[in-house]
Amino acid sequence: MDVIWAPWRYKYISMVDKDDEGCVFCREDEYVVYKGENCSVRLNKFPYNNGHLLVLPNRHVSDLSDLSEQEKKELFDLLIRSKDILMDVLSPDGFNVGLNLGRVAGAGVEHHLHFHIVPRWNGDTNFMPILSDTKVISQSLMELKRILVDRFGERE
Protein backbone atom coordinates (compact mmCIF):
# COMPACT_ATOMS: atom_id res chain seq x y z
CA MET A 1 0.00 0.00 0.00
CA ASP A 2 1.26 3.48 -0.85
CA VAL A 3 1.12 6.13 1.86
CA ILE A 4 0.53 9.76 1.00
CA TRP A 5 1.96 12.09 3.60
CA ALA A 6 0.49 15.55 4.21
CA PRO A 7 2.82 16.97 6.90
CA TRP A 8 1.76 20.56 6.24
CA ARG A 9 -1.60 19.72 7.85
CA TYR A 10 -0.04 18.79 11.20
CA LYS A 11 0.49 22.43 12.15
CA TYR A 12 -3.25 23.00 11.71
CA ILE A 13 -4.29 19.82 13.52
CA SER A 14 -1.89 20.33 16.43
CA MET A 15 -3.35 23.79 17.19
CA VAL A 16 -6.64 22.21 18.21
CA ASP A 17 -7.50 21.87 21.88
CA LYS A 18 -10.56 20.40 23.58
CA ASP A 19 -11.95 23.71 24.82
CA ASP A 20 -13.65 26.41 22.76
CA GLU A 21 -10.67 28.80 23.02
CA GLY A 22 -8.39 26.22 21.41
CA CYS A 23 -10.87 25.12 18.75
CA VAL A 24 -10.00 26.58 15.36
CA PHE A 25 -13.70 26.68 14.43
CA CYS A 26 -14.64 28.60 17.56
CA ARG A 27 -11.89 31.21 17.33
CA GLU A 28 -11.59 31.89 13.57
CA ASP A 29 -14.57 33.69 12.06
CA GLU A 30 -12.92 34.99 8.90
CA TYR A 31 -13.85 31.84 6.94
CA VAL A 32 -17.54 31.75 7.93
CA VAL A 33 -19.86 32.21 4.93
CA TYR A 34 -23.13 31.64 6.80
CA LYS A 35 -24.07 31.49 10.47
CA GLY A 36 -27.49 30.17 11.37
CA GLU A 37 -29.21 29.82 14.72
CA ASN A 38 -27.65 26.41 15.45
CA CYS A 39 -25.16 25.67 12.66
CA SER A 40 -22.68 27.38 10.35
CA VAL A 41 -21.00 26.98 6.98
CA ARG A 42 -17.36 27.92 6.54
CA LEU A 43 -14.63 27.62 3.97
CA ASN A 44 -12.03 24.99 4.65
CA LYS A 45 -8.77 26.88 5.28
CA PHE A 46 -6.86 24.00 3.65
CA PRO A 47 -9.19 22.94 0.82
CA TYR A 48 -8.86 19.74 -1.18
CA ASN A 49 -10.63 21.51 -4.05
CA ASN A 50 -12.06 24.93 -4.81
CA GLY A 51 -15.33 25.31 -2.88
CA HIS A 52 -14.45 22.86 -0.08
CA LEU A 53 -16.88 23.79 2.71
CA LEU A 54 -17.39 22.67 6.29
CA VAL A 55 -20.88 22.47 7.79
CA LEU A 56 -20.94 22.31 11.57
CA PRO A 57 -22.98 23.00 14.68
CA ASN A 58 -22.22 26.33 16.38
CA ARG A 59 -22.09 24.51 19.70
CA HIS A 60 -19.01 22.47 20.59
CA VAL A 61 -20.23 18.91 19.92
CA SER A 62 -18.02 15.88 19.30
CA ASP A 63 -20.55 13.15 18.50
CA LEU A 64 -23.72 12.90 16.42
CA SER A 65 -25.59 11.53 19.44
CA ASP A 66 -25.01 14.82 21.27
CA LEU A 67 -26.79 16.95 18.64
CA SER A 68 -30.16 18.45 19.51
CA GLU A 69 -33.08 17.87 17.15
CA GLN A 70 -32.82 21.48 15.97
CA GLU A 71 -29.09 21.07 15.26
CA LYS A 72 -29.70 17.84 13.32
CA LYS A 73 -32.32 19.47 11.13
CA GLU A 74 -30.35 22.66 10.51
CA LEU A 75 -27.14 20.72 9.87
CA PHE A 76 -28.72 18.57 7.16
CA ASP A 77 -30.62 21.53 5.67
CA LEU A 78 -27.32 23.45 5.43
CA LEU A 79 -25.59 20.49 3.78
CA ILE A 80 -28.28 20.49 1.08
CA ARG A 81 -28.25 24.27 0.78
CA SER A 82 -24.44 24.31 0.53
CA LYS A 83 -24.51 21.68 -2.20
CA ASP A 84 -27.14 23.63 -4.15
CA ILE A 85 -25.23 26.92 -3.87
CA LEU A 86 -21.94 25.29 -4.86
CA MET A 87 -23.67 23.68 -7.83
CA ASP A 88 -24.99 27.09 -8.95
CA VAL A 89 -21.72 28.95 -8.34
CA LEU A 90 -19.08 26.40 -9.43
CA SER A 91 -20.95 23.84 -11.61
CA PRO A 92 -19.11 20.75 -10.35
CA ASP A 93 -19.79 17.29 -11.76
CA GLY A 94 -20.29 15.79 -8.29
CA PHE A 95 -19.49 16.09 -4.59
CA ASN A 96 -17.76 14.23 -1.80
CA VAL A 97 -19.66 14.69 1.46
CA GLY A 98 -18.25 13.19 4.61
CA LEU A 99 -17.80 13.24 8.37
CA ASN A 100 -14.88 11.83 10.36
CA LEU A 101 -15.75 11.00 13.97
CA GLY A 102 -12.71 10.60 16.21
CA ARG A 103 -9.01 11.07 15.54
CA VAL A 104 -8.57 7.44 14.49
CA ALA A 105 -11.22 8.01 11.79
CA GLY A 106 -9.33 11.00 10.42
CA ALA A 107 -10.92 13.86 12.35
CA GLY A 108 -8.39 16.67 12.54
CA VAL A 109 -10.70 18.66 14.82
CA GLU A 110 -12.23 15.78 16.74
CA HIS A 111 -13.95 17.79 19.48
CA HIS A 112 -16.09 19.87 17.12
CA LEU A 113 -17.79 17.64 14.58
CA HIS A 114 -18.06 18.95 11.02
CA PHE A 115 -19.15 17.70 7.65
CA HIS A 116 -16.96 18.25 4.61
CA ILE A 117 -18.56 19.01 1.27
CA VAL A 118 -16.05 18.96 -1.58
CA PRO A 119 -17.00 19.82 -5.17
CA ARG A 120 -15.51 17.43 -7.76
CA TRP A 121 -15.03 17.81 -11.49
CA ASN A 122 -14.25 15.23 -14.14
CA GLY A 123 -10.49 15.33 -14.50
CA ASP A 124 -9.85 17.32 -11.29
CA THR A 125 -6.98 15.02 -10.44
CA ASN A 126 -3.81 15.70 -12.36
CA PHE A 127 -0.04 15.35 -12.25
CA MET A 128 0.71 18.48 -10.17
CA PRO A 129 0.25 16.96 -6.68
CA ILE A 130 2.09 13.79 -7.71
CA LEU A 131 5.08 15.27 -9.51
CA SER A 132 5.52 18.63 -7.87
CA ASP A 133 3.78 18.30 -4.47
CA THR A 134 1.56 21.19 -5.55
CA LYS A 135 -2.23 21.51 -5.49
CA VAL A 136 -3.77 24.04 -7.84
CA ILE A 137 -6.81 25.89 -6.45
CA SER A 138 -8.32 28.12 -9.10
CA GLN A 139 -9.83 30.81 -6.87
CA SER A 140 -8.77 32.65 -3.72
CA LEU A 141 -10.60 31.81 -0.50
CA MET A 142 -11.65 35.43 0.06
CA GLU A 143 -13.00 35.83 -3.48
CA LEU A 144 -15.06 32.67 -3.09
CA LYS A 145 -16.15 33.77 0.40
CA ARG A 146 -17.55 37.03 -0.98
CA ILE A 147 -19.59 35.14 -3.59
CA LEU A 148 -20.86 32.53 -1.13
CA VAL A 149 -21.80 35.08 1.55
CA ASP A 150 -23.91 36.86 -1.09
CA ARG A 151 -25.53 33.60 -2.20
CA PHE A 152 -26.33 32.41 1.30
CA GLY A 153 -27.83 35.84 2.02
CA GLU A 154 -30.11 35.66 -1.05
CA ARG A 155 -31.90 32.52 0.11
CA GLU A 156 -32.92 33.56 3.61
Provide the annotated active-site residues: 114
Give the Cα separation of 25 and 28 in Å (integer). 6
Supply the angle between the helices 141-154 and 69-90 in degrees, to the nearest 10: 120
Contacts of 39 (CB under 8 A, 6+ apart): 55, 56, 57, 58, 71, 74, 75, 78
Contacts of 124 (CB under 8 A, 6+ apart): 49
**Beta partners for 98?**
116
Give the Cα separation of 154 and 3 in Å (integer). 43
